[in-house]
Structure 1
Amino acid sequence: MHYNLPMFAQLSSSLYADMQQRFAELLTATRRFPILGSCPVTIAGRYVGWLHPRAQEVLADWPKVRRSSVGFHIAEDLPPSAELNHYLAELAQTLNDGGCVKAWRDELLDVYAEGQIIGVIERGASRALGLLTQAVHLHAWAPDGKLWVQQRASHKATDPNMWDTLVGGLASAQECLTVSLLRECQEEAGLCATELCDLSSMHCITRMHRPLQEGFQAENVWVNDCILPSTCTPSNQDGEVSDIACISVEQYWEMAQAKQFTLEAEIVILYCILQRCAPHAVR
C-alpha cells in the first residue's frame, strides 16, 4: 500500500522559521576545518584526507611513510591492489596500537581518493586519517505524520544514549549505498524493502566537515524518507539500539531543543520535515 506523505499544514509559520534557522546553523557547524596541527595526507600518491597530529607522531617512522613540506605521503609506490590493502590493514593496526583509534570495528570501509576508490581500511582508523565516509539514513514517517526515531544503545562508542534517525550507518567497503541502507534497515529496525512505502530516491544533502577528538569527520550524508505502514512496528535486531519511538514533529522539536538528538540526525530529520512542510511542496 502507498500513502501520500503528509504536508504538515498544521505547523505554525514561526515553528517552520525556527526549524529553518536551526537547519542553517547545523550546516554551518559541520563546515569546519581540522584541528590545528593536522596536515594533508595522500595514499598511493592521491589526496585522501587530513592526518591528526597524534597519528603523525605514530606514523612518523613507519615504513613507506614520507613527510614533506605540504603533508604526509603514505605508500606512494603502491598502486591500488591487494598489496596496498594489506599495507593499510597493518597501518590501521599501528594507529590502533598508538591510541589513535577510538573503537576498533572489524569492518572495512572504502578509501576514497580524488573521486575514486583505491583500497579498503578498518573503519576505526578512518577518522585519524580524515578519510571520506558515506553515511546512509532512513527517515521514516508514520501514516499520521509522526516520526519514527531510535535511541542509540549505551555501549555505542559514538553518541551513546542519544536519539537518532530510525536507521543510520556507514556504507561498508565494496557495498553500494542502496544495499547499505537495506542492510541497516534490517539490522537496526527489522525492516525489509517491501515495508518501505513511498521510498524517496537516495540523495546527498550535505558533506560534513568537522573536527573530532579522534580526528576529522569528512562524511557525505545520504538520505531516504519513506512511510511505514500502520501495521509495521520497527524492532531492533543487532543490539545497537535501546529504544524506538514514534513521536510528533512537535515532540521532536522539544527533544531537539533539549539536545537529545545527534547532530547528524538533527540535520537529516530537519531536512525531511522542511521538505514535507514547504508551503508548495509537491510529490
Structure 2
Amino acid sequence: MTAAPAPAWVAAARARATCGPAAPRTPLLLGGERVGSVDAEVFAKIDFKCLLYERYQLSIVEHEGAPAWALPAGEDATAALNALARALRAAGRCGPWRDEQLAVCGADGRRLATVERGAVRVLGLATQAVHLVGCTADGAMWVQQRAFDKPNNPGMWDTLMGGMVSAADSLASAVERETWEEAGLRVAALQGVAHGGHVEFAQPSDEAGGCGYMVERIDWFRAQVPEGMAPVNQDGEVARFELLPRTALLERLARGAFTPEASLILAAALGW
C-alpha cells in the first residue's frame, strides 16, 4: 500500500534540518583532522590561559587555504578538549553542563577523543542520538511530553524515547538505557524491535547564546508496546505520556507540537 503524499510541513522541516550555519564558522581541527567548527566571534572573547596552564595549545593554522583552530591529537586530545570546554563554560559560552562524555570522531568515524556534552554544540562537533517509535497493535502511537524544565524544547512532544549516545554506549546499549530511563520499559519486553532508519541535522543551535551548531545523526527504531504495558518515566525528564490514535498524531504534527527531531522521525515512520 502506497503511503499518502507528505503534507507541506514535512518538506519545510527537512529543509530547516539541513540549512547549514547562520553565521560564518571557523573549522576546528584535532591533530590535523577537522572535527567541528566554531562561531568566528566566539574564540576572540575567550581567555585561554587555562589551556596553557594545563600545557595544551590552541593555535590558528591554515587548513585548505583558510584559517582554522587546532588542538593536538593523541593521548592528550581528550584532556585538551575538556580543558577547552571548561574555558567556554567559564566564559558563559557553553551549553548545559552534564558531566557526560560524548565521542569525538574523524570524518571516517574513528574515535579520536571524548568531550563534555555541554560543549558539543558550541564546538560544532558531530553527535549521535537514538529514538524509539512505540506503537500498539491497533496502530496508536505512544508519545511523551518533555519536562518543562528541560534545557531544549521544554514542554514539546517527542517520540516514546529519545536520547544521546554517550561515549560509553553502543547504539544498542543507548537504546536499552534510554528506553528504561525515559519510559521505564525493557527493550526485551517489547515486540518487533527493529531499526527504522536515520535522520540527519546540520543547523544552527541556540545553545551558548546562539553561537552553537547542531550536527547530528539520529538512528531511530520502532517497536510494538504489548497490550497492558504502559511507559512510566524514571529520570524526571518527561512530563507525561499519551497514547495517540493516528488522526490525533497527524493533527499534533501539523500544528508543530513536536520537536524538530521527533517530527522528522515520525514523518519517516509514517512513510513520508
Specify if TM > 0.5: yes
Give me the CA root mean square deviation: 1.9
Q: Does 2:236 align with 1:233?
A: no
Q: Displacement of 1:210 after TM fit?
A: 0.3
Q: Displacement of 1:34 after TM fit?
A: 1.4
Task: Find the aligned partners of 1:157 and 1:54 in 2 and give their Cα distance.
Answer: 24
Q: Displacement of 1:104 after TM fit?
A: 0.8
Matched position secondary structure for 1:160 = coil
State the match for 1:279 in structure 2.
none
Q: Which moved more, 1:38-47 or 1:165-174?
A: 38-47
Task: Find the aligned partners of 1:71 and 1:171 in 2 and give their Cα distance.
Answer: 31
State the match for 1:218 in structure 2.
215
Task: Find the aligned partners of 2:189 and 2:96 in 1 and give their Cα distance.
Answer: 33
Q: Displacement of 1:231 after TM fit?
A: 1.6
Q: Does 2:248 align with 1:260?
A: no
1:248 corresponds to which of 237, 245, 250: 245
Q: Which moved more, 1:85-94 or 1:221-230?
A: 85-94
State the match for 1:74 in structure 2.
70
Q: Please list every run of 5 or more consecutive structure 1 residues that lacks an aligned counterpart in the other structure.
A: 1-6, 276-283
Task: Find the aligned partners of 1:234 and 1:148 in 2 and give their Cα distance.
Answer: 8
Contact 1:139 1:165 in 2 (8 A): yes
Task: Find the aligned partners of 2:48 and 2:92 in 1 and give their Cα distance.
Answer: 16
Matched position secondary structure for 1:173 = coil
Matched position secondary structure for 2:192 = coil
Task: Find the aligned partners of 1:71 and 1:189 in 2 and give their Cα distance.
Answer: 46
**Equivalences, count:** 258
Q: Does 2:209 align with 1:209?
A: no
State the match for 2:36 in structure 1.
49
Task: Find the aligned partners of 1:247 and 1:273 in 2 and give their Cα distance.
Answer: 14
State the match for 2:138 in structure 1.
144
Output the amino acid matched with 2:264. Answer: I
Matched position secondary structure for 2:121 = helix
State the match for 1:194 in structure 2.
188
Q: Displacement of 1:172 after TM fit?
A: 0.3
Q: Which moved more, 1:112-121 or 1:180-189?
A: 112-121
Task: Find the aligned partners of 2:146 and 2:24 in 1 and give their Cα distance.
Answer: 32
Q: Displacement of 1:61 after TM fit?
A: 4.8
Q: Please list every run of 5 or more consecutive structure 2 residues that lacks an aligned counterpart in the other structure.
A: none
Q: Does 2:185 align with 1:163?
A: no
Output the amino acid matched with 2:5. Answer: A
Output the amino acid matched with 1:17. Answer: P
2:178 corresponds to which of 181, 184, 190: 184
Q: Displacement of 1:249 after TM fit?
A: 1.6
Spell out, residue by residue over 1:7-62, the C-alpha distance to the aligned partner (whole angstroms, 9 max, x if none).
8x9xxx7xx3243x433322211112213231111112210111123432245755
Change (3 A) 1:190 1:50: same
Spell out, residue by residue over 1:179-216, the C-alpha distance to the aligned partner (whole angstroms, 9 max, x if none).
0011000000001122220011363x222100112310
Q: Does 2:118 align with 1:124?
A: yes
Higher strand share: 2
Contact 1:54 1:100 in 2 (8 A): no
Output the amino acid matched with 2:176. Answer: L
Change (3 A) 1:59 1:41: farther
Q: Which moved more, 1:163-172 or 1:101-110?
A: 101-110
Contact 1:195 1:232 in 2 (8 A): no
Within a 5 Å distance, the mapping from 1:25-40 to structure 2 comes to 25-40=12-27
Contact 1:148 1:244 in 2 (8 A): yes
Contact 2:38 2:122 in 1 (8 A): yes
Task: Find the aligned partners of 1:189 and 1:54 in 2 and give their Cα distance.
Answer: 41
Task: Find the aligned partners of 1:195 and 1:236 in 2 and give their Cα distance.
Answer: 16
Contact 2:26 2:69 in 1 (8 A): no
Contact 2:46 2:91 in 1 (8 A): no
With normalisation by structure 1, the TM-score equals 0.85
Output the amino acid matched with 2:144. Answer: Q
State percent identity of aligned pairs.
Answer: 30
With normalisation by structure 2, the TM-score equals 0.89
Spell out, residue by residue over 1:226-260, the C-alpha distance to the aligned partner (whole angstroms, 9 max, x if none).
10001211100000000100001211121122221
Matched position secondary structure for 1:157 = coil
Q: Does 2:77 align with 1:84?
A: yes
Q: Displacement of 1:88 after TM fit?
A: 1.7
